[in-house]
Amino acid sequence: MISSAFRLSLLLAAPAAAIPVPPSFDLPRRPLPELLRELDGEPAPLILPMPVGFGDTGHGDYRVLAESLEKSGVDFPEIFRRACALAEKRGGGVQEAKVMLAGLVTWLGDRSLPRTVGLQGRLDWAFHFVYGAWLESIATGLGERAARAKEEKDAFTPGNVYDLDDLTATMLGARWATREVARLAEWGDGRRRLEALPALRMGKLAPRVLADERQLQSARDFSVRALP
């Protein structure tokens, strides 16, 4: 499942009809800072009034590119590479990277598509990576906070548990947004690739068990080693 914070951020970013999202999402339309304060009791990060990407002409081009490549049998790492190449061709930089990530969010958020893509063979990790990157591009620290909120919710959801690999995949996306936009050209030409990331093997916790600070730090350290 994708986090409730992810769902709410989508609702805030654009009209509901504009972005297909999984039907399992069910959250009230409330300000994201208010929800985050309720989730963790900490001050909410600075949120832009309208995240860059949605509403801008251009993010749809990245969705179309990704959807077309997926239908052709191309997997997520190569789709991501080609999206980075397009972003670099359009001038690169933080603004274009946000537009690119917004386009990939709308693509991965459409459950009506025949899903054939994944990160390290896992579709859910592709979701986690892209959402983590997009959220982090909106506000510093938002990627990790959403990742933690999502897993804490899953830990107490019947049939689900706290998944350290899901958490780490989201943190990897957040790390990418903060560290790799300046190297967009290298991601576009293949010098840096998602296939080179170390394997996610953090494991899952028992039902109703939350990650402790040591495990959270291990996930952060993994992300730093993966994207130095």
Does any domain span residue 131? yes
Does any domain span residue 25? no
How is residue 207 annotated by DSSP?
T
Does any domain span residue 35? no
CA distance 143 to 134: 8
Mean pLDDT of the chain: 80
Number of domains in the chain: 1
Does any domain span residue 30? no
CA distance 143 to 63: 21
What pLDDT was estimated at residue 47? 34
Mean pLDDT of 123-140: 92
Which residues, including other chains, have CB under 8 Å from residue 59's CB and lie 6 or more apart? 53, 99, 100, 102, 103, 106
Does any domain span residue 97? yes
Tell me: the pLDDT tens digits for 186-198?
Answer: 999 999 999 999 9
Which residues, including other chains, have CB under 8 Å from residue 40's CB and lie 6 or more apart? 145, 148, 149
Q: Identity (one letter) of the amino acid at 110?
A: D
What pLDDT was estimated at residue 84? 98
Range of the domain at 101: 4-14+53-226
- Asked if pLDDT for residue 136 goes beyond 80, the answer is yes
Burial class (CB in 10 A: 0-12, 13-18, 19+), 172: buried
Q: Is 14 helix (H, G, I), strand (E, B) or coil?
A: coil
- Asked if pLDDT for residue 67 goes beyond 50, the answer is yes
At residue 45 the predicted structure's pLDDT band, cuts being 50, 70 and 90, is very low
Query: What does pTM read for this prediction?
Result: 0.78
Q: Are 21 and 108 in contact (CB under 8 A)?
A: no
Does any domain span residue 129? yes
Closest CA to 122 of 69, 57, 168, 188: 168
Does any domain span residue 27? no
CA distance 181 to 186: 10
- Asked if pLDDT for residue 16 goes beyond 80, the answer is no
At residue 57 the predicted structure's pLDDT band, cuts being 50, 70 and 90, is low
How is residue 16 annotated by DSSP?
G
At residue 73 the predicted structure's pLDDT band, cuts being 50, 70 and 90, is very high
Tell me: the pLDDT tens digits for 78-89?
Answer: 999 999 999 999
CA distance 31 to 171: 23
Tell me: the pLDDT tens digits for 111-125?
Answer: 788 788 999 999 999
What pLDDT was estimated at residue 111? 76
